[in-house]
Chains A and B, each alone.
Chain A
Amino acid sequence: MLRDFVAKFTQKPIPFVKQGNKFYLENKSLEKEKLKQKEKVFGLYLGEEKEGAFHPAFGLLDWLSENSTEKVFVKDIGEMDFLYGKTLRARHIDHVDGETKIGFLKLVQNMNDENLGYGKITGDFSTTGQVLKPRMDRGLFLKREKKKESAGQDF
């Protein structure tokens, strides 16, 4: 499942280890440091299989950012919209690398080439309409924190 997802962005093989239903980036030096107990996090988390579907993690999107050219670059004006789960319009897009056909998945990058998430092409980039629907965005970190202030300060 992980390989099928990765293949939508790159032909480069991803070195991974699977633990239960979770995938992590292979890390041989870290492997030898393990305790005898079962770990809950092992290095870079790539995603998991749940109810027959693969759910990518941001670690995988970061890896893909370094290894794929299937990217949409979003202008500053579109960055917050995407992070709040809004569908992107053509005016939000600076440029597109790779495939532009409707239905294809694209990594969504800001102008510093940092990954904000990924989405699916829904329209023609040469028009003014909606062009990319978010599938996953880093705004998810806020949703995971029960309330914003919980991220206020760590002691």
Chain B
Amino acid sequence: MNIFVERYKQMGEHPDFVKLRKVIRVNTRKITAEALKERLEKKEVIMERIPFLDNAFWVKAKFNLVSSPEYLLGLFYFQEAAAQIAVEVLKPKGLALDCCAAPGGKTTQMAERCDVIAIENRADRFPALENNIERLGLRNIIAYQMDFREVQKKFDYILLDAPCSGNYMLEENWMQRNSLKRIEERSNLQKELIAHAVSLLNKDGVLVYSTCSLEPEEDEFVMQFALENFPVKLEKIECIGDKGLTEIFGKKLDPSMKHCRRLWPHKTNTIGFFLARLRKC
């Protein structure tokens, strides 16, 4: 049995692949959800409101929506449902920091609610971020190509959608191509990133940590590291998904880990995802 399947079994899960439905997020800076729905339905696009998100639809079209005038006008953004939850959980106001921004789904989602400082280190990913900001016509984003660990400014709201190993829904043969060594390497990087992100939070500030990994080393163990080393507490999240793990692989974790959310594809019909909301004490 594959090592990852064995590990999921230990978490009480028997994951299976699910067919993901295409999701769009409405750019509410340009159009309302109702108006976009009416407009695309006239073009025979089937639009189904996603009940657990603010401004998103499952869509089905007979043509490629990417070449539609509505897409080119920046009226919507293709963004998987689970990935949209992070910003809704953060609920940013005023000014927020997006630590790992490209290609810009969460950055532009945040910019519908507040001004955004967006950081992206990878030169090859930066043009996608610029292109999406321009297409959506957003006026309140400052973007930097730099290592997030060089940021020194303090914030009340921070989103750390950390680089991760991904999950089996995102990559063909993911289970064969990944190893525990790689997971451990990612985990070490994530601990470095969360340490810096917490240092940038004002007192009472909120940080949402998310990954599209289902591996505890990249999720609950990173949160455990944060709880043990920094003045932060986990806050309850109201969204779809299972509670975070409080005990796994023989390790007992902080009981507040249950406030985190774990999205298993076979249960939520989304990609695999993990979310945690931290407040600085």
Contact = CB atoms under 8 A, between A and B. Distances in A.
A42 B20 CA distance: 35
A14 B80 CA distance: 37
B250 interface: no
A145 to B, nearest CB: 7
A1 interface: no
Contacts of A45: 130, 133-134
Contacts of B139: 25, 27, 43-44, 59
Nearest to A58: B134
Interface stretch (B45-53, B63-71, B214-222): B63-71
A153 B115 contact: no
A37 B77 CA distance: 29
B69 A116 contact: yes
B116 to A, nearest CB: 9
B2 interface: no
Interface string A117-135: 0000000000000000000
A39 B141 CA distance: 10
A151 to B, nearest CB: 5
B78 A41 contact: no
Main secondary structure of the interface of B (DSSP, over half): mixed
B144 A154 contact: no
Nearest to A138: B72
A51 interface: no
18 contacts: A27-B140, A30-B140, A35-B144, A36-B152, A37-B146, A39-B142, A40-B143, A40-B145, A45-B130, A58-B135, A59-B134, A59-B137, A145-B66, A148-B64, A151-B78, A153-B80, A154-B77, A154-B79
B143 A35 contact: no
A142 interface: yes
Interface of B: 20, 22-23, 64, 66-67, 69, 71-73, 77-80, 82-83, 95, 103-105, 115, 117-118, 126-131, 133-135, 137-146, 150-153, 170, 212, 271
Given A153-B80, A154-B83, 19 more contacts: A29-B115, A33-B142, A35-B144, A35-B153, A36-B152, A37-B146, A41-B118, A41-B129, A41-B141, A45-B133, A59-B134, A80-B69, A110-B69, A116-B73, A138-B135, A141-B72, A145-B131, A154-B104, A155-B271
A96 interface: no
In this complex, the member of A33, A42, A153 whose beta carbon has the largest number of chain B beta carbons within 10 angstroms is A153
Contacts of A79: 69
A108 B251 CA distance: 63
A153 B150 contact: no
Contacts of B118: 41
Nearest first, the 4 A-B pairs at minimum CB distance are A154-B105, A41-B143, A138-B72, A44-B139
Contacts of B137: 44, 58-59, 62
Interface in A24-74: 25, 27, 29-30, 33-45, 57-59, 62
B141 to A, nearest CB: 6
B142 A42 contact: yes
A83 B143 contact: no
A4 B228 CA distance: 59
A83 B66 CA distance: 12
A85 interface: no
Contacts of B77: 154
A138 B73 contact: yes
A109 to B, nearest CB: 11
In this complex, the member of A25, A59, A83, A141 whose beta carbon has the largest number of chain B beta carbons within 10 angstroms is A141
Nearest to A141: B135
Contacts of A83: 69, 72
Contacts of A141: 72, 131, 134-135
